[in-house]
Structure 1
Amino acid sequence: MSETSTLMHVFPGQGSQKKGMGEGLFEQFPEITAAANKVLGYSVQSLCLEDSDEQLNLTQFTQPALYTVNALTYLKNKQDTKRQPDFMAGHSLGEYNALLAAGVFDFETGLTLVQKRGALMAEAKGGGMAAVLGMDIQQIREVIQNSGSKEVSVANLNAPQQTVLTGSKEGILEIKSAFESAGAKRYIPLNVSGAFHSPFMEPARKEFKTFLKSFTFGSPTIPVISNVEATPYPRDGVAELLAQQITSPVRWVETIQYLKKQSDPAFEEMGPGKVLRGLIRQIS
């Protein structure tokens, strides 16, 4: 990456969490860590580093933990490089970190939103998700249409040959054979508690929309590409897009295509793991 590169910071979402994440960061930013503990009512450091109660993979705990570690990763990078990104994006939950870094809200407000979002999404039981590998989005939509299923839709357009489906648990399992006979390389049901980014999340979206009314948001000081629209967040309308995000597909392929159109784009992943780096490589 050169000084003239257009710097993109991308923040990962659920699925990137792992025990030990944030090691060395909590001690470096004691004020943020203490603020997180106060908002959450438990030690985020213990949850991330020890996870003795095996809660880190539960949605209501994953989301606040990952938001905190992503935020600390960004702060450390900012401290070390003294360089601001030119554009930002986050995958699902990660979008909250992009908005935080763009000055739309402060750390505690973002964490309060994420804790509520995680709790509401965890409550929406009975749904499932599955990853389809080796088929493009057009083929996937045809398989869903031909199957006649009204219970399965697209959740995440992650890469040209990697799409995540969402829907009822039965629908996700029943449609598997249709994908296998249509030539999907792999069809992998995911270990999640609900049908995220689907109409099944409508009760969560409604309640979250009401919750968002108690907050005021600033305009992004750095362009943040929205999951819902795959274009930069408008100056206002943050609350509407954050509520919509819960029931809408994550348009990651289009988001990265938008960013790759910029001059000499350079991507840095701000959080644990390298999931997004792998997806970005597959998108042209």
Structure 2
Amino acid sequence: MTTAVVICPGRGTYNAAELGYLAQHFPDADLLAIFDAQRAEAGQPTLSELDGAERFSMALHTRGDNASGLIFAASYGDFLSIDRSAIDVVAVTGNSMGWYTTLACGGALSAEHGFRVANTMGTLMQQALIGGQSIYPWMDDDWIANADRKQELLALIDEIAARENAELYLSIDLGGMLVVAGDEAGIKAFESAVEPVQGRFPMRLANHAAFHTPLQEPVAAKGRDALPGEMFGQPELPLIDGHGRIWWPGASDTQALYDYTLGQQVTQTYSLTRALTVAAREFAPDLFIIAGPGTTLGGAVAQSLITANWRGMASKADFRERQDKDPVLVSMGMVDQRANVFSYSQEV
């Protein structure tokens, strides 16, 4: 049986190309109705309404109070659709808000509670909308790790953060990218200091707040007020968090898991790079499966594996050669790759 680590994506992965993703792929109509009922009770448009819209709206679909629910449902539905008779899922991890989906996929939260956590936190983030995010690469086009360049950028973040009238932090360590977050002064200072590269970076992320920074402490506090710790239970699969820590089935402190999820996970740097390094070295899976929606996380996953020197990969060319010969990465947001892990018994 093929072993796999599943990766749940975060914000920014449900875009125009993903409109209709739930209608096409979500395998459990009754569960989707439960998610819709939660949204309707809160006075929010249902996922079915959003996903079934005639056209995609950046202003509507990428808002935190809408995007979080859409992405959670799409990712969780994809997890349910994996052929578990052929794929042995040995661990689950995620990027940023994908941690909430990870908790549900790994059994620490029920599907309904996982959706509640994701939808509540997305809504609270949107209501507060504190600060923003920008993304910038530290790897070159060939995905060759340049540790000196990464340290230069981290030093720049620290230097701007030390200024009197600016706040800036490393928000997400995302493979060959750094996501920085802070107030407008901090982000502008960073964007002005770095050289424009690849025709699109530095790139401001629309409708994104200063996730994974101390600026989000008020949101974390409201999350703890709104979400009871009793929802959290022992995971059924190992979970790898944004610090690279493993939460083991039968051996996890559920109060600590709650405290991390609505504390450090919200207010401290989230490292997908570290999570995937731990996943590769601790579980040595045959496959990394990225749940949908979207296809944008594949590069960051590959870059993280290159950073970890996993199976000797040190560049984009190494990764492509390995992927062509014996694929190590499957993105369920891509129809041709989805077929490699999809269970037809789960078809709606």
> What is the TM-score normalised by the length of structure 1?
0.88
Residue 169 of structure 1 corresponds to: 184
Moved more, 92-101 or 184-193: 184-193
Distance 1:44 1:145 in 2: 40
Match of 1:50, as an amino acid? A
Distance 2:231 2:63 in 1: 29
Residue 173 of structure 2 corresponds to: 157
Alignment length (residue pairs): 275
Residue 66 of structure 2 corresponds to: 61
Counterpart contact for 2:229–2:258, Cα < 8 Å: no
Q: Does 1:144 align with 2:143?
A: no
2:273 to 253, 258, 276: 253
Residue 116 of structure 1 corresponds to: 120
Residue 241 of structure 1 corresponds to: 260
Match of 2:238, as an amino acid? P
Moved more, 168-177 or 209-218: 209-218
Partner secondary structure for residue 159 of structure 2: helix
Residues 1:190 and 1:173: Cα distance change in structure 2 (over 3 Å) = same
Shift of the alpha carbon at 1:115? Answer: 1.5
Distance 2:96 2:215 in 1: 16
Residue 39 of structure 2 corresponds to: 40
Aligned-residue identity in percent: 21
Residue 88 of structure 1 corresponds to: 92
Residues 1:231 and 1:126: Cα distance change in structure 2 (over 3 Å) = closer
Q: 4+ runs of 1 displaced by more than 6 Å?
A: none
Distance 2:49 2:86 in 1: 30
Deviation per residue, 1:151-195 (Å, 9 max, x gap): 000001001x31000000122012222223xx8763222212421
Distance 1:151 1:169 in 2: 8
Partner secondary structure for residue 130 of structure 1: strand
Shift of the alpha carbon at 1:52? Answer: 5.7
Residue 231 of structure 1 corresponds to: 245
Residues 1:73 and 1:202: Cα distance change in structure 2 (over 3 Å) = same
Counterpart contact for 1:129–1:169, Cα < 8 Å: no
2:138 to 105, 126, 134: 134
| Structure 1 gap ranges (5+) | none
| Structure 2 gap ranges (5+) | 140-148, 307-348
Match of 2:10, as an amino acid? G
Distance 1:97 1:124 in 2: 22
Distance 1:253 1:155 in 2: 12
Shift of the alpha carbon at 1:58? Answer: 0.7
Residue 7 of structure 1 corresponds to: 4
Deviation per residue, 1:75-130 (Å, 9 max, x gap): 12246x55341011011111122211221121111111112101111122341111
Deviation per residue, 1:5-56 (Å, 9 max, x gap): 5311111110111222223234x41111111111111431221231668321
2:232 to 217, 220, 241: 217
Alignment of structure 1 residues 97-108 onto 2, 5 Å: 97-108=101-112
Distance 1:263 1:84 in 2: 12
2:220 to 205, 214, 234: 205
